[in-house]
Structures are given as C-alpha cells and as structure tokens.
Structure 1
C-alpha cells in the first residue's frame, strides 16, 4: 500500500519543504477533505478550501500515516504513542505542539 501524500516537495517518507528532519515522517489526513497532507502549511498551499479540525468523537478513525512504513493509525493511537507501533520509527515529539491545528482538543 502506498498512499499519496500531498504537499510541497514531499519525499517518499512524507517529509516536506516545511518539516524535513529524520523524525518528521507522519502525514495527516485532513478532516475536511479526507486527503493526506504532509503538514498544515502544505494543506494551506495546495488545497482549495480551509482546513477543519477532527472532532474528538471521530478520533477513532484512521487519520495519521507513518511515512516510514505506510501504517495508518487512528488519531487516538497517535495521541498515545511516541513512534509507529508497526515499524517502531520515532515520531517528532514536537508535533504535539501543533495538535490544535488539526484536532479539536
């Protein structure tokens, strides 16, 4: 399975022009369009609509993609882990600072 991740200069591990360190490997399925984007700024640059946040009652849906192994996580799972439960690659812990951009907290 190879899901398409949209954005600016997205590499095969879902890193983009905005976030491209070794641990910046997740993509987020935006609630508004159900499309994976590498980050909030990529959605702003490429989508033709404003983003909407995931409501908490839908956090049981798959909304996070590990760019290392293509494993999809529910938002609930993602909120509870520090890395991919499938391939064990570490995620960027600082991404939690951006949760209010994506999720109704």
Structure 2
C-alpha cells in the first residue's frame, strides 16, 4: 500500500480540506513549485509554508503536483487542468471554483 504524501496547513482533514476551504468538494492538495510540499491552498502555504512562493511553469505541467484527497492519487498538473473538476481515477468531485485561483499555483 502506498503512503500518501504529507499535506501541511491549518486544520487539514483526511481529504485535504483546510481551515480556509471546507466544502464537500474541497478535496485536493497542491504541491508547491517553490518548496515541493503539499498544501490544501495558497492561504495555508502563506501561513506555514516557505517564504519563496513560485508558480509551476507551463513546461513542468507533466509533473505530479495535485493530490486527490479522496483516493490519494497524484495527478500531473495537466491531468488536473483537463479533468473537468473530477478525479480521473475515483470520480470524486473537485471544487470547480478552484479554477479562479489557478494563477496562484500555475503559470497561465
């Protein structure tokens, strides 16, 4: 059995929800380009992450950097951006509102 990556942040639950985002569909974590660690959101990274925030460059979108909080599958950035707000492995719904924050994580 594979061990899930550690997800850092504030009040993180078993499906990667945090103090800032707690709806039923808030179930992903993002591995930040700057530090290589998983956080549920940009606010958690600001609170307990590194002080050197950087976004993923387009040429790195093949990297596994999204964690499904339901099944624990790590998705590439491209898989995540193309998944229509559902995990391609377990079909768990992701919050479609996360697309409003893409610029905080990925080069757009």
Please report the TM-score for the alignment, with normalisation by the length of structure 2: 0.95
Counting matched residue pairs gives 105
Question: Which residue, out of 67, 83, 88, partners 2:91?
Answer: 88
CA RMSD after TM alignment: 0.7
Instruction: Tell me, in whole angstroms, the C-alpha distance in 2 between the residues paired with 1:71 and 1:19.
Output: 20
1:48: Cα distance to partner? 3.4
Note the residue ranges of structure 1 that are not aligned, 5 or more in a row.
none
Q: What is the CA–CA distance in structure 1 between the aligned matches of 2:54 and 2:90, rounded to whole Å?
A: 29
Q: Which runs of 5+ in 2 are unaligned?
A: none
2:47 is matched with 45
Point out 4+ residue stretches in structure 1 off by more than 4 angstroms. Answer: none
3-state SS of paired residue (1:95): helix
Could you tell me how far apart the structure 2 residues matched to 1:14 and 1:100 are?
20
How far did residue 3 of structure 1 move?
1.4
Alignment TM-score, normalising by the size of structure 1: 0.97
Decide which of 46, 57, 60 is 2:59's aligned counterpart: 57
Aligned-partner SS, 1:60? coil
Post-superposition shift, 1:50? 2.7
